[in-house]
Amino acid sequence: QYHTLQSSPIISVSSCHQMGYNLQNDNHAASGYYFPHSLRPNGAPALESPRIEITAYSQCPENEVEESSTEDHFIKRGVNSIVTLTLPNADGYRDPSCLSPASSISSRSCNSEASSYESGFYNYDNSPQNSPWQSPCVSPKGSSSLLSCPHSGGPAGSPYHSPSTSPQIGAMAEEGWPAQHRSGGTGGGGGMGKRKYSFNGTSYNQTSCSPNQSPTPSPHGSPRVSITDENWLASTNQYTNSAIVAAINALTTDGVVDMGEGIPIKTRKTMLDHSPSMSLKVEPGGDELGPDGEICHEDYPSRLALKKENYCAGFLDVPQHLYSWSKPKPYLSPSLPALDWQLPSCSGPYNLQIEVQPKSHHRAHYETEGSRGAVKALSGGHPVVQLYGYMESEPLTLQLFIGTADDRLLRPHAFYQVHRITGKTVSTASHEVMQSNTKILEIPLLPENNMRAIIDCAGILKLRNSDIELRKGETDIGRKNTRVRLVFRVHINQPNGRTVSLQAASNPIECSQRSAQELPLVEKQSVDSYPATGGKMMLLSGLNFLPDSKVVFVEKAQDGHHLWETEAKVDKDSIKSSTLVVEIPPYRNQRISSPVNVNFYVCNGKRKRSQYQRFTYLPPNVPMIKTEPSDEYDSRGTAGLPMHSKPYYSQSRLTPIMPVSDSDACLVGGYSPCPPRHAAMPTSSPSSSPTLHDLSPVAYSKCLPSSPSHAVLPGPMVAPIQETPGHPSLAHPASPDHNTSLGMLPSQGSPNHLNSPGPHGYHPVYAKSSPSSSPVSHPSTPGGTAESPFMQAYSPSHAAANSSHAGGSSPSLLSEDASPPSMAITVKQEPQELDQMYLDDGE
DNA sequence: CTCCTGGAACAAATG
DNA sequence: ATCATTTGTTCCAGG
């Protein structure tokens, strides 16, 4: 294993490894990945108390029988608890930095699912963190899994072992964090007290558990129990972690990161694992999966393992047997990248595409309600996801989880969970798996179906804000945080032992009943860019437009303050609920020499605004750049309907992170196309493979520089997620993490930036952008890709980049200047990228 | 009879 | 501190 690790390291490092963990690279890869995780380190902060809680959880699991998810969580927790216990060293938490590589590594391996293992790990833990164990973890297979567990555990364990290690994370992080955040900040008490929820039947289960479990220091005790807390906690940690990580990073770059995350994750996973077992239902999916084995195994394995080790044994086993998945591969999962890692949508020949996007609105259901059905597509059908470039005969497993849709990096959404839909109307088999508080739906991707899956089995469950916010470590707030994205992942094992992980995120989905009914939504705009003179009519298509809807164009500075704002003239007579015609207002400066990115939004009233939409003013003389179709549109005239739906789509791609933008290009063809794009991502590291997430700073930096050239792309297109003009809501206090978390992202971010037409030295901006300072405001800048600062706000990637580390790297990007002239257009950068890509592929 | 939904009542959180 | 909004969650009822 080591060999592999070592050998591969360099190469793979950047890329895939994660997957690869199994493979080998662990170290490198791990390190890279870990970074992000390292965020966890944040754990450091929180660390202190954590363990305690864990213990509690363990109890819960059994009790609760709630349905899948909750139970799972509990179960896991139980496991976790075990784990936690192990970790006695609180110290470690804090030191995350100390951890350095070793710890980090271990953690990662664990990350994913490892958690479950953790419990078992103790022993492992003992082993000196890093070394052997870790590596083992990395290693893909089998035993490794256990090992990995250890890792996960290791991290946790490590703490024990070595204080330095820190404590990694693991244990600490989870508990600690939560405790701190929640209890301290919000005052869990408050939350608890507030609601009656506790009473609710649903909550019962949870509560019962949680309370007990939650031993958390805090008094939460309260009924609420935020059930999930525990579970969540772990997960939360992740988020938090990111922030923390960021902080940590600042302190130290070491592998530390991993630690934190890894542990939490593990715990979570465990929980998940349990659930899975519970879910046995798997049924069809299972069958299919079974065949696939590989992928499934990954997840399953872990589960299995966990189960076995833990109490599961009995229950779980059954299911397992049923399905092939259960198999022995357990370990795989551990190696998989954490859910908050940013992954590219295409790598080498592979390209994971969302062929049919989900509708922009889907009312999520509460636990107190019945299911509200599966997420549907605009067409009335269901979302469709396809993997291009995969020629093997082995089925793969497509993973789906609910991710965030804010301006920060993509990560599992704390307030929503994917909900498995079954029934006669459902044609797609699926199977639930829990990974660190996040429910994942696993769907078979079969060669016979051309590696295409119709997602008609995925609903969305809303968790009570009060429950989630109480989780330890959870820093996000649920209020107004009702937009999500479907996040799809595929892990492809390659001959060389590495695993390529791809990720694609859907366009944002508004899950709030009220928001969906009241907030205007712009799905398409007929014009993306136009000369500063304005005057052209632009057709907007979307939802909830009212006779008195207004369209406001705004330009924000990096720091978030408004540079320019004007209300455009709306053709009141032509307004329909789904369409609106507006005249593009002249830009404040008619002499711009390079494209200027601004934003606009539709406003139905004070707090009823659409997300920011991107728009680019072009220098009067300059012909429109190819970049966008806009030209066409222009010519057509607003009346023409040709709209761009860029925003969303681009976004979706974005999600994948940087890659995303690239992905666009890649899209169809898959193979060839991708490579180029990779460039963007890959750019980061020679190593390349986008797939891999290069976490390491270095890579980034590298990438960035190169990126400039690449930059072009769709950057603009990227259209970061739409942001709501006025709502900072998303911005959460805690957020800092986002940034940090991103470490990985950076690459992405950079690309975007690059892409952005942004004329001139935005760099600075970026740097600023990070601006975590004004979390809230940031969002606003959606459009900004190009120029400005906005970009940052928008795309998560940006954020990431900006924020942390990225910073380091990003700067370079900025400097790139590549952006230069607005035009930038996406030229192909292929060469470089390709190389990288190939390399990756080749390897 | 259960599952979906669409609508809304209620009530906590904000402004 | 109070009142008006908003927004989150729970209920209902019809298909």
The confidence score (pLDDT) of residue A407 equals 87
Chain A 179-238 contacts with nucleic strand B (CB below 7 A): 190-191, 194-196
Measured distance CA(A313)–CA(A307) in Å, rounded = 5
Give residue for tokens 């939409």. Answer: A613
Proximity of residue A199 CB to strand C below 7 A: no
Flag whether pLDDT at A130 surpasses 60. no
Q: Give the nucleotide with minimal C1' distance to the Cα of A465.
A: C8
Task: Indicate if CB(A63) is under 7 A from strand C.
Answer: no
At A284 the three-state DSSP class reads helix
What is the CA A395 to C1' C5 distance in angstroms?
A: 52
Opening angle at CA A525, ends A519 and A530, nearest 5: 130
Q: How far is the CA of A371 from the C1' of B4 (A)?
A: 7
pLDDT in tens, A406-454: 989 999 999 999 999 988 888 888 889 999 889 999 999 999 999 999 9
* Distance separating alpha carbons of residues A77 and A365, to the nearest angstrom: 25
- Residues near A424 by beta carbon (within 8 Å), at least 6 away in sequence: none
Residue nearest to nucleotide C10 (CA to C1'): A368
The separation, in Å, between residue A530 CA and nucleotide B14 C1' comes to 39
- Considering chain A, what is the average pLDDT of its residues? 52
Contact A776, A711 (CB under 8 A): no
Whether the per-residue pLDDT at A549 is higher than 80: the answer is yes
- The helix (run of H) or strand (run of E) holding residue A583 is strand A579-583
d(CA A731, CA A735): 7
Backbone angles phi, psi at A460, to 5 degrees: -130, 125
Cβ of A194 less than 7 A from strand C: no
Torsion-angle region of A332 (φ positive above 0: left; ψ -120 to 50: alpha; else: beta) = alpha
Say which residues have a Cβ less than 8 Å from residue A196's Cβ, sequence separation at least 6.
none
Tens-digit pLDDT profile for residues A39-74: 333 333 332 223 323 233 333 333 333 333 333 333
Nearest protein residue, CA measured to C1' of C5: A607
Cα separation, A514 vs A519, in Å, equals 8
pLDDT band at A324 (very low <50, low <70, confident <90, very high): very low
pLDDT at A483: 94
Among chain A residues 409 through 438, which have CB within 7 angstroms of nucleic chain B? 421, 423
Residue A54, pLDDT score: 29
Average pLDDT of A510-527? 92
CA dihedral A672, A400, A725, A662 (to 10 degrees): -10
Helices A169-178 and A96-126, packing angle to 10 deg: 120
A401 pLDDT tier (thresholds 50, 70, 90): very high
Query: What pLDDT is stored for residue A284 in this prediction?
Result: 33
- Nearest by Cα to A649 from A843, A506, A842: A506
Checking DSSP bridges between strand A350-356 and strand A384-388, what pairing results, if any?
antiparallel
Number of H helices, E strands in chain A: 34, 21
Indicate if CB(A330) is under 7 A from strand C.
no
Percent of chain A whose predicted confidence (pLDDT) is above 70: 34
Helical pair A746-755 and A697-711, crossing angle rounded to 10 deg: 20
Within 7 A of a protein CB, which nucleotides of strand B?
Answer: 3-8, 12-14
A369 strand B contact, CB < 7 Å: yes
In window 500-559 of A, residues with CB < 7 A from nucleic chain B are: 513, 517
Q: How far is the CA of A460 from the C1' of B4 (A)?
A: 14
The angle subtended at Cα A219 by Cα A217 and Cα A221, nearest 5°, is 110
pLDDT grade, residue A622 (50/70/90)? low
Q: Is the pLDDT of residue A355 over 80?
A: yes
The answer to whether A482 CB is within 7 Å of strand C is yes
Q: DSSP labels for A630-661?
A: HHHHHHH-TTS---B-HHHHHHHHHTT-HHHH
| 3 state SS of A813 | helix
Q: For chain C, which bases have at least one atom within 7 A of a protein Cβ?
A: 5-12
User: Quick one: pLDDT band at residue A29, thresholds 50, 70, 90?
Assistant: very low
Q: What is the pLDDT of residues A242-281, one digit of tens each?
A: 333 333 333 322 322 233 322 222 233 333 333 333 322 3
Burial degree of A274 (CB within 10 A; 0-12, 13-18, 19+): buried
Q: Integer distance in angstroms from CA A432 to C1' C10?
A: 27
Tokens of A273: 């694992």
- Measure Cα distances from A518 to A325, A521, A639, A681 in Å: 44, 9, 26, 38
Asked if residue A518 keeps its beta carbon closer than 7 A to nucleic acid strand C, the reply is yes
CB A418 within 8 A of CB A272: no
Give the pLDDT confidence score for residue A416 in this predicted structure: 95
| Residue with CA nearest C1' of nucleotide C12 | A369
| Helices A201-213 and A228-251: angle between axes, nearest 10 degrees | 50
In sequence order, the β-bridge partners of residue A502 are A490
Judged against a pLDDT cut of 90, whether residue A632 lies above it is answered with: no
> Do A191 and A469 touch, CB atoms closer than 8 A?
yes
DSSP state of A447: G
Report how far residue A682's alpha carbon sits from residue A751's, in angstroms, rounded to the nearest whole number. Answer: 10
Map out the domains of chain A with their CATH numbers: 346-510 (2.60.40.340), 521-618 (2.60.40.10)
The residue to which tokens 């060669």 are assigned: A447
CA distances for A151 relative to A128, A573, A773, angstroms: 10, 64, 35
DSSP-derived secondary structure letter, A482: -
For chain A, percent of residues with pLDDT exceeding 90: 25
pLDDT tens by residue, A720-750: 334 555 443 333 333 333 333 333 332 332 2
Among A4-8, A349-353, A521-525, name the one with the lowest average pLDDT: A4-8
User: Straight-line distance from CA A714 to C1' C7, in Å?
Assistant: 36
The pLDDT assigned to A720 comes to 34
Please classify residue A535 by burial: count the beta carbons closer than 10 Å to its beta carbon, then call 0-12 exposed, 13-18 middle and 19+ buried: exposed
Task: Measure, in angstroms, how far nucleotide C11 C1' is from residue A368 CA.
Answer: 10
Distance between the alpha carbon (CA) of A508 and the C1' atom of C9, Å? 22
Instruction: Note the CA–C1' distance, A720 to B3, in angstroms.
Output: 37
Q: Is the CB of A368 under 7 A from strand C?
A: yes
Query: Distance between CA atoms of A138 and A118, rounded to whole angstroms?
Result: 15
Does residue A809 register a pLDDT over 90? Answer: no
- Angle at the Cα of A776 (from A538 to A265), degrees rounded to 5? 110
- pLDDT interval class at A614 (50, 70, 90): very high
Pick from A203, A205, A167: which is nearest to A84 by CA? A167
Residue with CA nearest to B14's C1' atom: A479
pLDDT the model gives residue A623 = 55
Categorize the per-residue pLDDT at A169 as very low, low, confident or very high, splitting at 50, 70 and 90: very low
Rounded distance in angstroms from the CA atom of residue A550 to the C1' atom of nucleotide C13: 36
Amino acid at A112: S
Return the SS3 of A123. Answer: helix
Strand C lies under 7 A from the Cβ of residue A202:
yes
Which pLDDT does position A558 carry in this prediction?
Answer: 84
pLDDT in tens, A633-690: 333 333 333 444 444 333 333 333 333 333 333 322 223 334 433 333 333 332 223 3
**A694 CA to B1 C1', in Å?**
53
DSSP string, A647-714: HHHHHHHHTT-HHHHHHHHHTTT-TTTHHHHHHHHHHT-TT--TTS----HHHHHHHHHHHHHHHTTT
pLDDT in tens, A133-168: 222 222 233 222 222 222 333 333 232 333 332 333
- Let me know how long chain A is: 843
Distance A620 CA to C12 C1' (A): 59
Chain A residues 639-698 with Cβ under 7 Å of strand C are: none
Model confidence at A593, pLDDT cuts 50, 70, 90, reads: very high
> What is the SS3 assignment for A765?
helix
| Cα end-to-end distance, chain A, whole Å | 16
Residue A624: what pLDDT?
Answer: 52
Nucleotide nearest to A362 (CA to C1'): B5
Would the pLDDT of A96 be above 90?
A: no
Q: Does strand B come within 7 Å of the CB of A491? A: no
Q: Which of residues 445-464 of A touch strand B (CB under 7 A)?
A: none
Estimate to the nearest angstrom the gap between the alpha carbon of A226 and the chain centroid: 24
The protein residue nearest nucleotide B15, judged by CA to C1', is A607
**What contacts A333, CB < 8 A, 6 or more positions away?**
A112, A113, A114, A145, A269, A297, A298, A299, A300, A301, A302, A303, A435
| Nucleic strand C within 7 A of Cβ A205 | no
